[in-house]
Structure 1
Amino acid sequence: MKDYIVRGTAANDEVRFFAAYTKGVVEEARQRHNTSPVATAALGRLLTAGAMMGSMCKNDSDILTLQIQCSGPIGGLTVTADSKANVKGYVNHPDVMLPPSKEGKLDVGKAVDLGVLTVIKDIGLKEPYSGQTHLVSGEIAEDLTYYFATSEQIPTSVALGVLMNKDNTVRHAGGFIIQLMPFATEETISALEQKIAQFQSVTSCLDAGHTPEEMMEQLLGDMDMKVYGTMPTRFHCNCSKERVEQAVISVGRKEIQSMIDEGKPIEVNCHFCNTNYEYTVDDLKRMLKEAAH
């Protein structure tokens, strides 16, 4: 199954949903950052949420950033997505190892622990919109559910899952975001709550071979569910040697001069995709001239 996001409505437009399959996105992130299983699960969940939330953006130029600052050994995570569901991200400590939780699962909650979730939406205004909530569990899906309820006042159910193979590659990844519209009736709300309470998990659903549409069918199938469209999602970083060069120039002439004085090439790493860019002393001299302008 290719990576994609499906969106639609149910219950006479009282409910809207986004559901995603993101195995390729998460596996690429795992390979690029060489993440441990628990770091892969944490980053994979946040990447999946980021892709879906990015696809909710209205304008092509909108950028969404999800940032978790936390006290757990993972140290923090950052994910950025655009309106075309191109998504990228990294964890501060990709090699964190922890024993499984008492349910025998990867202990994302323990890896993340307490902290703050910040959602930044850059929609072309002078100042980006920023909403912040405390983490309620560190499990990421619950934290986003809480964020939507408190920061955006939208009753929302977020479910995210990453399933690993024995060799620590990604077996399945995906999730959904279901939101109630302001005019949702009590009847719709309680029917949906019941369905969500009975739902097993994203990973068991995907592992049984179900598509995101079929996953939504389980939850919303008897509520007149309508699918409005699908869009591909992928791990994509827009860094380039030229863009990173601009970042080097921005550190200022004094810094660049001291790099030149060392007489060695420098290597600059992109956090998001872990690509290294090397600049020779001659490159640095050229940048010094550019920084003068």
Structure 2
Amino acid sequence: MKDHLVKAVADGVRVHAAITTNLVNEAVSRHECYPVAAAALGRTMTGALLMAANLKNKECITIKFNGNGPLGSVVADANPEGFVRGYIANPHVNLPLNEKGKLDVGGGVGQGILSVTRFTGLKDPITGSCEIVSGEIAEDLTNYLYTSEQTPSSVGLGVLVNPDLKVAAAGGFILQLLPDATEETLTKLENNLAKIRPVSTMVKDGLDARGIIAELLQGFDKVDYLTTTDLAFKCQCSKERIEDVLISLNEHDLKSLVDDGHAEVCCHFCGEKYQFNKDELTAIYNVSQKLKDNKANN
């Protein structure tokens, strides 16, 4: 099944649901994640895509879990076009299963701060934050949407990892009440959420995003399915962007790279490695010096 996201509305409620198995697999492969890291990264990337679906074109969102657990930081960037990338500080973490017999993502993330930054095209991005409540990702995003954005929501995320470290199923949903929601609508949703299967189970059983929405909105007279967006792992890095980063280094560090005659820069988000030889580094150093001189003269 292709990765995709579906947006829908019904009486007093808005739902986004996504299938992300392939893109999570790619991220897990690129970062060589062990199961706990795979689940944490996959859930965060899926959550970022679901939240980005509300943004306008050219906007994007960054979700960062900065916890004190052994996984370290977990970060995902996503945009409404359906592209996402992510990284995890310590992908090679092994933890025993939690008391429910599940991957201990909460223990891996630990306590700390969840921050959500929206890049809207204005001069300064907008960042909201809250304390991490469980580290299980979905519960934390639900809490963030309620406490920081005053949006009553329910977030469900799931990643099923096979023993061979391949992702068998991944997906998620965000369900949000609209201002005209009635008590009847709230009761229906609560009943449906109480009996719904785990997201990873629904995806493994073959449900697509529309199927997940249908499960969430059982008993609603009419569900309007609005748009379907293809999803993919995509990093914005390039050799030109890495050159810009190198140009911004201080003179001493850049001169050391020139003297070494070679540099390798690895992108945190996708693991892509960029090689620079002595001639390229010398050219970058010269540009850096010209920029410095121009700034001094002005």
TM-score bin (small chain) = over 0.9
CA distance in 1, matches of 2:180, 2:113: 30
Residue 258 of structure 1, CA deviation: 2.2
Contact 2:9 2:224 in 1 (8 A): yes
CA distance in 1, matches of 2:252, 2:134: 45
Residue 288 of structure 1, CA deviation: 1.0
Give the one of 220, 227, 236 matched to 2:217.
Answer: 220
Counting matched residue pairs gives 289
User: SS in structure 1 opposite 2:213?
Assistant: helix
Return the letter of the residue paired with 1:229.
Answer: T
Give the one of 269, 274, 286 matched to 1:272.
Answer: 269
2:172 counterpart of 1:156: no
User: SS in structure 1 opposite 2:186?
Assistant: helix
Residue 280 of structure 1, CA deviation: 1.0
CA RMSD, aligned part only? 1.1
CA distance in 2, matches of 1:82, 1:250: 26
Q: % of aligned pairs identical?
A: 42
TM, length-normalised to structure 2: 0.94
Contact 1:52 1:85 in 2 (8 A): no
2:176 counterpart of 1:200: no
Matched with 2:244 is 246
Return the letter of the residue paired with 2:75.
Answer: T
Matched with 1:232 is 230
Residue 255 of structure 1, CA deviation: 2.1
**How far does the alpha carbon of each residue in 1:138-189 deviate from its partner, in whole angstroms, 9 at most, with x for none?**
0000000000001110100000000112312000000000000122112211
Alignment of 1:44-123 (within 5 A): 44-58=42-56, 60-123=57-120
Contact 2:192 2:218 in 1 (8 A): no
Return the letter of the residue paired with 2:114.
Answer: L
Matched with 1:260 is 258
Unpaired stretches in structure 2, ≥5 consecutive residues? 291-298
CA distance in 1, matches of 2:97, 2:170: 19
Residue 7 of structure 1, CA deviation: 0.4
Matched with 1:3 is 3
Return the letter of the residue paired with 2:269.
Answer: F
Residue 226 of structure 1, CA deviation: 1.3
Contact 1:195 1:219 in 2 (8 A): yes
**How far does the alpha carbon of each residue in 1:236-285 deviate from its partner, in whole angstroms, 9 at most, with x for none?**
00111111111000113332112222x33011111000111111111111
Residue 109 of structure 1, CA deviation: 0.9
